[in-house]
């Protein structure tokens, strides 16, 4: 990179906010269990009690500490989003590069497969799988990744097709660089912004999907999840619990998604200076 | 009267090692014929002349024999030798003023051989001398001057008169034109002409190539005491067969060549032979070539192989070891293992289309080892396609490609990398041909990395630094860490030259390498490129749209029109006397003036017709219907029904 990354990033508001939130969520994700004041499965407290100094967010209908529950839920959602997003990105990049670089019938086969997957609604597959087979969350994350890669690979493939006509890539070919060498040294570094966009979009989608599935009660009910918390809280919304029981998981979910988005926007902008103007950030 | 020299070897003893001046030289000089002996200084030309007269110094040991009219000359018999020297065999020495006696008047010195050898009275001799001198253009006053009072040209005339005064049968002229202006040279030429018509045998020792071409019948090229090539005089500048002949002719500022002077890479001064006593009955010889700057640590000349191989543009490993004899090829005699200059690249009838766009129509292209071939043409004429096909980066739809004697397509299938090492490519736009994410070091090291030629990064760095120094770029750490966008275009194009050269290719393909540079940077980059071409002994395919540029750099030149070479041949010939009207148009358009005599309408080209027909002022009906075949005319090839004369 030819830019002073640190200075550029610190001047960017999107990054500062996104990074702050990311640090917060990373702390929660990594240190959730020791931070939690109580065992979130412990049902020994007075059900549906408002927040106190001991129970920061009160106690839910099952007599569990909501704050502890929230810490565990965030951890699960983030892990699901990261795993799913990373796997989708990896699949998408590999398939996109292979498809774009080798072309021919490899390209045709892979891209038709991508078209088929794009036509199938992911949520439907996930609901059916979760309901019928009851797989572990990791398997579900992988299945989701397996459904999400086509959009990434389409973008990577398109970029590969345009890059492969570039003179430096043809020069490397003429020198005798093999396929793997050119993909690794010439194509992959050129597409960094695409990885960020792809990952952010997919991680966002996966986190939202996880919350949705949990909301619908398709996960093991004992697994803490933001969606499940929202779903339980909604049952008692006529009581005055919305601010201490319903709002925290909803807020966390929104903030999580915003974190990923903010970071992606800022990194993309800094790494690809051409985007600065289109986003109008400098002048705004 | 014929003079024949048979396996003449001359060694100058000099302490421990001796200098090998001549190595088994055999020549046959016939009456009425002038043979020119050409070579660099130190090649043994003068030694040969002196050997014929028996004038070699004491420390010379001579082997072989010289015979006049079939009768061997006995160089030990001083009295008969003295008689024979001026009467039958006369020599004009190099460095004329030094061979005249400063205390005698010129006319006395010219008369001297008459008095001494022909027993003629003094008065008669003086008359004859005056007569001989005036025939060569010296008047009475000048005849009576001393040698230091005469100009170089007048001295040369006096020497010629001296040599001719006894009407010898064999005349040896040692560098008769060196130091003479062009006009005085013609007097020497007249003398040679006259001697030839007088059925004398003339041996012309010279390094003036053009003079030799026009005044001799046969030319013998001498290199470090060995004959490299014997060829008809008119072939010297146009179709030599030995790489040495080609390189030497390229170094000569002939009026007919437009290209900047070349030169021969490396140097060679003389050849020494160490004699390490006898081993199993024969003298064990160990031979070296001395070159300036090498001191006593001389470059190791091959003990057995070709003497020229270290400076040759097409040397193989076996050239170093295998002995080479002169062989007859056509009317040439050539001492080369590879039977003369080889073609490094040979494209036959290559064709290429992109969809229904025809980029290349069936075209032949031959690049000889060590030459620069330029392709000139308008944009879209298929230059780059042809160049990339030659580079092996594009696969032609049809046709055969041969690189260095091997089928290229087969080679690409078998082992593309080893072919890629042989061909370096410089692209039009250096900024695009180098990844913007690579530093200078990474960019230049990339080919080494791809080919895995270096064991570690230190070795790689060493090679990168070496090649950067070759292209006159800085080699310090800061520069190596620069990114392409931090460099100016000239430096960047040199980086891409370094990239193309780092694998030591034998063919360099440059696709408009200077079109993005301003004239001053272009001049520098081109000069560097040509210097490297000579120093590294590369062959080069140079693609450009600028015919003026091509003229300055190429040995041969091809003009492309609509995917086909329509004229190619020696650059000077094609540019001075273009045969195709399109070439004429290209040359005339260089100034930017509109060309009224050519039709500007870009009328429809009939399929199968000549692509230039709509614009051609000479077009006739046949041009509409029939695309002309490439035909050889003189030393060039042209595809036109009505070529210009």
**Closest in B435, B447, B483 to A175, CB measured:** B447
Task: Report how far residue A100's alpha carbon sits from residue A147's, in angstroms, rounded to the nearest whole number.
Answer: 20
Q: Highest mean pLDDT range out of B103-117, B144-158, B494-508?
A: B494-508
Model confidence at B300, in pLDDT bands (50, 70, 90)?
Answer: low
Q: Which of B429, B435, B446 lies closest to A175 in CB terms?
A: B446
Q: With bands split at pLDDT 50, 70 and 90, how would you rate the model's confidence at B290?
A: low
Q: What sign for the dihedral angle of Cα B569, B574, B579, B582?
A: positive
State both tokens at A42.
């412990």
The single residue listed with the structure tokens 């990033």 is A9
Distances, alpha carbon B477 to alpha carbons A200, B48, B288, B539, B629, in Å? 39, 55, 39, 32, 56
Query: Would you call A280 helix, strand, or coil by DSSP?
Result: coil
> Residue B333 burial (CB < 10 Å; 0-12/13-18/19+)?
buried
Which residue is listed with tokens 């003389």?
A: B270
Buried b (16+ CB within 10 A) or exposed e, B408-420: bbebbeeeeeebb
Chain CA centroid to CA B299, Å: 23
What is the pLDDT averaged over residues B530-549? 88
pLDDT digits (tens, 9 = 90+) for B79-94: 888 878 888 888 888 8
| Confidence tier at B252 by pLDDT (50, 70, 90) | confident
Q: Which of these ranges, A3-12, B20-29, B362-371, has the smallest mean pLDDT?
A: A3-12
Please state the rounded mean pLDDT for residues B617-643.
Answer: 85
Quick one: pLDDT at residue A109?
Answer: 94
- Look at residue A274 in the predicted model and tell me its pLDDT: 55
Residue B276 has pLDDT above 60, yes or no: no
- B446–A contact, CB cutoff 8 A: yes
CB A236 within 8 A of CB A245: yes
The two structure tokens encoding residue A109: 């086969």
Query: What number of residues does chain A have?
Result: 284
Angle between helices A66-102 and A247-271 (to 10 degrees): 30
Select the residue of B391, B393, B483 nearest A2 (Cβ to Cβ): B483
Q: How does pLDDT run across A234-252, given as a tens digit for each residue?
A: 887 777 777 777 788 888 8
Mean pLDDT computed over every residue of chain B: 85
**A10 to chain B nearest CA, in Å?**
23
Report the mean per-residue pLDDT for chain A.
82
Contact criterion met (CB < 8 Å) for A176 and B421: yes
**Residue A181 to residue B393, Cβ atoms within 8 A:** no
- The CATH code for residues A9-41+55-279 is 1.10.3720.10
* Higher pLDDT among residues B495 and B297, named by residue: B495
Q: In chain B, which segments carry CATH 3.40.50.300?
A: 3-224, 343-422+505-638
Domain B3-224 belongs to what topology? Answer: Rossmann fold (3.40.50)
Do β-strands B34-39 and B201-206 pair in parallel, antiparallel, or remain unpaired?
parallel
**A197-234 confidence digits (pLDDT tens):** 888 888 888 888 888 888 888 887 778 888 888 888 88
C-beta of residue A60 within 8 angstroms of C-beta of residue A29 = no
Residue in B with minimal Cα distance to A188: B437
Q: With beta carbons less than 8 A apart as the criterion, state whether B228 and B242 touch.
A: yes
Question: What's the CATH fold of domain B343-422+505-638?
Answer: Rossmann fold (3.40.50)
pLDDT of residue B599: 66
DSSP letters for B292-303 = TT-TTS-B---S
Question: pLDDT: is A110 or B271 the higher one?
Answer: A110
Asked if the interface predicted TM-score (ipTM) of this complex is over 0.85, the answer is: no
Cβ neighbours of B425 in A, within 8 Å: 171, 174
- pLDDT band of residue B288 (cuts 50, 70, 90) is low
Shortest distance, CA B445 to any CA of chain A (angstroms):
12
pLDDT digits (tens, 9 = 90+) for A52-69: 777 777 777 777 888 888
Instruction: Work out whether the CA dihedral A130, A131, A135, A136 comes out positive or negative.
Output: positive
CB contact (8 A) between residue A178 and residue B447: no
What's the Cα-to-Cα distance from A144 to each of A129, A256, A259, B548, rounded to whole Å? 10, 19, 21, 64
Rounded Cα distance, B85 and B168, in Å = 9
Determine whether the interchain pair A171/B433 forms a contact, defined as Cβ–Cβ distance below 8 Å: yes
Q: What is the mean pLDDT of residues B130-135?
A: 89
The model's confidence at residue B602, banded by pLDDT at 50, 70 and 90, is low
Half-sphere exposure of B462 (CA within 13 A, CB side): 7
Task: Read off the pLDDT band of B305 (50, 70, 90).
Answer: confident
| Residue B611 backbone dihedrals phi, psi, to 5 degrees | -65, -15
Residue B25's closest CA among B172, B232, B306, B226? B226
Contact B432 A189 (CB under 8 A): no
pLDDT at B540: 92
Give the 3-state secondary structure of B54-104: CCCCCCEEEEEEEEECCEECCCCCHHHHHHHHHHHEEEECCCHHHHCCCCC
Encode pLDDT of A108-141 as tens digits: 999 999 999 989 888 888 889 888 888 888 888 8
**Chain A positions with Cβ closer than 8 Å to B:** 2, 166-168, 170-178, 181, 185-186, 189-190
The pTM for the full model equals: 0.80
Helix and strand numbers (H, E) in chain B are 22, 26
Q: Is the CB of residue B643 less than 8 Å from the CB of residue B579?
A: yes
């Amino acid at each position: 990179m030819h830019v002073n990354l640190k200075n550029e990033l610190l001047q960017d508001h999107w990054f500062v906010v996104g990074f702050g939130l990311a640090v917060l969520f990373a702390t929660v994700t990594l240190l959730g269990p020791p931070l939690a004041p109580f065992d979130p499965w412990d049902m020994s407290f007075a059900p549906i009690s408002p927040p106190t100094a001991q129970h920061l967010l009160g106690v839910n209908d099952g007599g569990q500490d909501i704050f502890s529950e929230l810490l565990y839920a965030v951890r699960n959602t983030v892990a699901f989003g990261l795993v799913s997003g990373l796997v989708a990105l990896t699949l998408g990049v590999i398939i996109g590069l292979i498809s774009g670089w080798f072309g021919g019938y490899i390209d045709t086969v892979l891209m038709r497969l991508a078209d088929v997957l794009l036509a199938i609604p992911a949520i439907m597959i996930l609901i059916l799988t979760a309901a019928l087979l009851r797989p572990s969350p990791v398997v579900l994350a992988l299945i989701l990744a397996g459904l999400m890669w086509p959009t990434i690979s389409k973008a990577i493939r398109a970029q590969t097709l345009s890059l492969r006509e570039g003179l430096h890539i043809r020069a490397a070919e003429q020198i005798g660089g093999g396929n793997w060498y050119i993909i690794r040294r010439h194509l992959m570094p050129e597409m960094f912004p695409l990885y960020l966009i792809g990952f952010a979009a997919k991680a966002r989608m996966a986190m939202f999907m996880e919350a949705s599935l949990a909301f619908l009660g398709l996960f093991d009910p004992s697994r803490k999840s933001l969606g499940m918390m929202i779903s339980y809280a909604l049952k008692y919304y006529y009581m005055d619990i919305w601010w201490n029981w319903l709002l925290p998981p909803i807020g966390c979910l929104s903030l999580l998604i915003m974190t990923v988005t903010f970071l992606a926007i800022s990194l993309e902008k800094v790494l690809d200076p051409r985007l600065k103007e289109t986003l109008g950030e400098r002048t705004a | 009267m014929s003079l024949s020299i048979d396996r003449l070897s001359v060694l100058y003893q000099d302490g421990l090692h001796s200098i090998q001046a001549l190595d088994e030289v055999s020549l046959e000089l016939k009456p009425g014929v002038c043979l020119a002996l050409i070579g660099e200084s130190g090649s043994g030309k003068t030694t040969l002349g002196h050997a014929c007269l028996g004038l070699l110094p004491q420390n010379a040991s001579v082997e072989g024999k010289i015979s006049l009219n079939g009768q061997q000359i006995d160089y030990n018999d001083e009295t008969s030798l003295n008689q024979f020297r001026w009467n039958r065999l006369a020599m004009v020495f190099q460095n004329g003023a030094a061979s005249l006696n400063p205390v005698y008047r010129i006319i006395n010195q010219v008369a001297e051989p008459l008095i001494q050898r022909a027993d003629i009275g003094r008065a008669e001799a003086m008359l004859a001398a005056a007569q001989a001198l005036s025939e060569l253009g010296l008047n009475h006053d000048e005849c009576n001057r001393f040698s230091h009072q005469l100009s170089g040209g007048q001295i040369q005339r006096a020497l010629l008169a001296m040599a001719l005064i006894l009407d010898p049968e064999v005349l040896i002229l040692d560098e008769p034109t060196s130091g003479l202006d062009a006009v005085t040279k013609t007097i020497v030429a007249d003398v040679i002409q006259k001697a030839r018509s007088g059925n004398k045998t003339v041996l012309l020792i010279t390094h003036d190539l053009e003079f030799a071409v026009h005044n001799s019948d046969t030319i013998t090229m001498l290199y470090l005491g060995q004959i490299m090539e014997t060829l008809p005089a008119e072939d010297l500048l146009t179709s030599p067969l030995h790489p040495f002949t080609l390189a030497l002719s390229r170094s000569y500022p002939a009026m007919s060549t437009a290209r900047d002077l070349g030169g021969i890479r490396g140097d060679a001064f003389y050849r020494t032979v160490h004699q390490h006593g006898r081993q199993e009955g024969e003298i064990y010889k160990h031979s070296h070539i001395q070159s300036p700057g090498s001191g006593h640590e001389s470059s190791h000349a091959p003990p057995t192989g070709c003497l020229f191989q270290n400076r040759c543009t097409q040397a193989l490993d076996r050239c170093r070891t295998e002995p080479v004899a002169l062989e007859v090829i056509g009317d040439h005699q050539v001492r080369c293992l590879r039977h003369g200059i080889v073609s490094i690249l040979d494209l036959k009838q290559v064709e290429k289309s992109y969809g229904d766009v025809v980029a290349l129509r069936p075209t032949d292209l031959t690049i000889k080892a060590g030459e620069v071939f330029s392709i000139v043409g308008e944009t879209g004429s298929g230059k780059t396609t042809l160049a990339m096909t030659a580079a092996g980066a594009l696969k032609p739809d049809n046709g055969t490609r041969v690189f260095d004697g091997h089928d290229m397509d087969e080679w690409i299938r078998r082992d593309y990398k080893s072919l890629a090492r042989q061909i370096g490519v410089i692209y039009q736009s250096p900024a695009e041909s180098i990844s913007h994410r690579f530093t200078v070091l990474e960019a230049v090291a990339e080919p080494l990395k791809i080919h895995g030629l270096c064991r570690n990064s230190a070795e790689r760095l060493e090679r990168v630094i070496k090649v950067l120094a070759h292209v006159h770029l800085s080699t310090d750490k800061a520069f190596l860490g620069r990114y392409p966008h931090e460099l100016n275009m000239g430096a960047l194009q040199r980086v891409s030259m370094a990239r193309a050269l780092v694998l030591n290719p034998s063919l360099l393909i440059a696709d408009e390498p200077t079109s993005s540079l301003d004239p001053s940077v272009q001049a520098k980059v081109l000069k560097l490129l040509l210097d490297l071409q000579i120093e590294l002994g590369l062959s080069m395919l140079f693609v450009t749209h600028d015919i003026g540029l091509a003229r300055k750099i190429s040995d041969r030149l091809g003009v492309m029109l609509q995917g086909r070479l329509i004229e190619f041949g020696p650059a000077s010939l094609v540019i001075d006397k273009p045969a195709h009207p399109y070439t004429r148009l290209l040359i005339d358009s260089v100034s930017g003036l509109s060309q009224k005599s050519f039709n500007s309408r870009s009328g429809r080209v009939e399929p199968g017709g000549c692509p230039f027909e709509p614009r051609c002022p000479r077009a006739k009906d046949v041009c509409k219907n029939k695309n002309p075949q490439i035909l050889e005319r003189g030393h060039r090839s042209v595809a036109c029904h009505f070529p210009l004369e």
